[in-house]
Amino acid sequence: MIKRIAFLIIAITVCFLMNGCTSNSNEPDAINWSESKHSEITGKDYEETKGYAAAFLTIDEITVDRIKEWIDSCDLNDGYYQYIYSDPDSWDMFIYYPRESSSIFKFHIADSCVNVYVEGGETSAENLDYTLLLIQAPLRGAWPSSSRLFIDNEEIELNSPKFTT
């Protein structure tokens, strides 16, 4: 009886190992692109995926002095800037691109990285000469530590050290 149970446990373990390795190694992870949504409370459109939410902001909407100071410190050279503002209960990432771009974007989270794709063609309603995005994470989970920005499918270089608080 003990031999049968031991054999059964070994057989099940081998099946799990074989199926787990073969099914995950050959299939790429599906990208969970954000979906467009609208908030009745704020009256703004935003994108959401896996509990993460992202929206365009204007500099006037920033109320935290530390974030305002960070934006003021950003150079107007090529590239974009990233700021991660976190504490034990929340995580926010700000992406600032000091050049005008579209008001249409999608994003996804992969390998601890926020990947943001901004499309060209349509300018923002405010006619701003910058792009400012806020990405907020769900309360629980492993939060991303980096970002990548693509405008018209061209990757923009991160122009600053990663700011984290």
Q: In this predicted model, what pLDDT tens digit does every residue of 70-99 receive, in sequence order?
A: 999 988 777 899 999 888 888 999 999 988
63 against 13, higher pLDDT: 63
Q: Do residues 115 and 107 make contact, with C-beta atoms less than 8 angstroms apart?
A: yes
φ, ψ dihedrals at 153, nearest 5°: 65, 15
Report whether 97 contacts 149 (CB < 8 A).
yes
Half-sphere exposure of 146 (CA within 13 A, CB side): 10
> Which tens digit of pLDDT belongs to each residue from 134-154?
999 998 778 999 999 998 889
Asked whether the beta carbons of 147 and 111 are under 8 A apart, the reply is no
The CB-side HSE value for 3 (13 A sphere, CA atoms) comes to 0
The answer to whether the predicted template modeling score (pTM) of the entire model surpasses 0.85 is: no
